[in-house]
Structure 1
């Protein structure tokens, strides 16, 4: 029998104890919420939405189009890195829902993405302080790059408004 449920020994033991009617089955408590894992999932969704937003925005703004496309590519790369970290922690894939950005005026969109980059950089920086070593470096580097994205967006906004 090649059913994947039975490949996990703990799952097999729990199912077998229920089927056999064993009263000695250990009481299992649901696992506590892992805030770092939850944050990784949240950041994966934010990076996917950010990549879609930057791509859509690049099609509306001529000045800085290449820069916006470059940031979108970096956001996708961050998303993939976070998905790897998520998989290493949980053994499960975290696939974000499809993102469909709602766009306003170019200035409003740049302002919105500027504040979102700063907020995400802050959350990633805080998470880096509590994360184990390999993940710590990844999150700290992403936080720094998000600060750079915010500065690039700020510069684009300055050009657009002048």
Structure 2
């Protein structure tokens, strides 16, 4: 495992969307770990490629996601640190395939929901990526300053999260209505 530079942020974004369902009907963990591949793809058309669920070697719930964010193909191996009905904190040492080569980064995906009123909730989709030593070495090898990498990564990450958040919320809403 590469050393993660948690003091540095490659990209960070937080977006919210409304879910038209009561809080007691929502179970983010159940939705996430049962998410069909086709539904995942509908939540970011063109970007989301594939998903699946498994467990880590030590039995932690795991979500595997393959997606394109800007020019970067990402394979994420999210381990569930928190996997409750109203909050999931997923952490991945993700494989990144970029124009500068292959390296890794830590991606933290934090999904939560809070009650607004009896029939509505606010869904929050937060994503933060930290570089690894390998990531920073790859940038240096290609003569790319970290600040320039952020200038490229941040807009792509924000755009992706902005587009997927309302579609994730709609998918969670459908699951809440059907009990799936």
Shorter-chain TM range is 0.3 to 0.5
* Structure with more relative contact order (C-alpha pairs < 8 Å, separation 6 or more): 2
Which has a greater percent of strand?
2
TM-score normalised to the size of structure 2? Answer: 0.31
Larger Rg: 1
